[in-house]
Structure 1
């Protein structure tokens, strides 16, 4: 059986990535595409690399016909998904790629995003979309909230260590290098080639990055008490990919063993041999995560390195993985793609 899906916000990077993944997915087909500024255009005009596909035209959301649509991917800007999803037919399942339903506590949402949540009843039913940790809940959900790409990288690195009690919960630093596509497709001065090329710089420093809300939520839940990490993201002149280096206090061998045990049966998460470090290019354009552990000088300290593709496993690939579960399809269907290399 093939399921028809709609993609709202298809003219953004995550929308285009969803189309790319669905192109070879045996259980999904694109039934509808929406855009705002690009409404009335063909997808091939917006993204010429997709011109080989037979796709519906881009229309405004209010012009969409949801009859026959089984699931909707909502790839809209933050703070816009709430109102849109509230108006969707109840029979349509939803995977939201924005930040609108990630934080369970409505006061946390207002703290990090600067405005009250406009769909509190929907928030109550939303399931956090970190697939490997919420698999059963996602399978039975109507609304799944995809994680932030930075948040996913840090969570994959550290959640098993907090659950296993093998690191000091009060001594954690996450240093992250992030590709520019994580900032979206809208024109921004700091993302111009002349500004970004041959340059890299930290951003949202000093505890201001919004993905800290997800770290606080998920780390504290895993640990059974409040956990606050230090997090510094750095924008690098690369199109896609994330590399996280998490500095922890704990025995390196125990750290590696905890990660290897936690992910031993996971199809998309690979824990490398002790001492081997991952590279972002080794997971480029895939749904895979590579994790490595290195023992540091002296005793009792380790660094956990993790890489993923921000547009795929960090967003659209994760969304398809969740959709597979929600629709009763094999979880890996359409996602076992080899990395693009070099």
Structure 2
């Protein structure tokens, strides 16, 4: 597996694994899950040379980290484990954002225990807390670095000014945000800011929550309880326009004899050596297909055709509902 560098010196596989669909959040989001298959998928990823695994305490909450911890037991060497914190918890009840240093410390202690490891390689603030200065949050995370509990600090869904202030407080290895052929707004200010500051970029939902694979062409292709039935971009008003992006991906895929997922991921990989997508998996078959994207080389004509079909800001519908949109790009 090819390697890429996040920040100054964090080497990771060119494609990571987003563990979110595997446990704790699978029901009513991406269909049902099976822990045994999820663990087998993680093991298969390691066999294929994937070293980068992404989870978060809020997935479940907590169950996702526990599952990843079970899967990597005895296989930890050489892996880069990323997890995230954002919320204050009362048991499993989410009591809202809390970016305080005390909450970061609480989260790390719990994550280390659930993952069964002695340090976290990449520790994210999952969502920026507008009520806590980012300097204070990152300062608390930096204390955890000095103590050896965390190796690298990262942010998720932060805006350009927040990124700058954070980086002035402590080196930031990576920013995670949604980025794909149907969500390119980060190209305006966020990605350039990261590159100016030497911060790696980790796209989540690189397949448009499955849309870019071409397997969903109607709302009826989703289970009745699938949360994507409430996703604005999957709505009856927006889906027909967005299918034009899928059709463009499909044409390039057919020309290369590869899958739509491989093309969508290869497009992201072609955006720069500092870009490391983390598609979500819960089954070996989809993992094995997507990993093939690392070996797909798109021509300038391919890239131009995809750019023309999916210009920045032209996807129909917002990427989240109103409440979730208020928590991004802060």
TM-score, length basis structure 2 = 0.31
Q: Which has the higher strand share?
A: 1
Q: Which has the higher contact order (CA 8 A, sep 6+)?
A: 2
TM-score, length basis structure 1 = 0.30
Task: Determine which structure has more spread, i.e. the larger CA radius of gyration.
Answer: 1
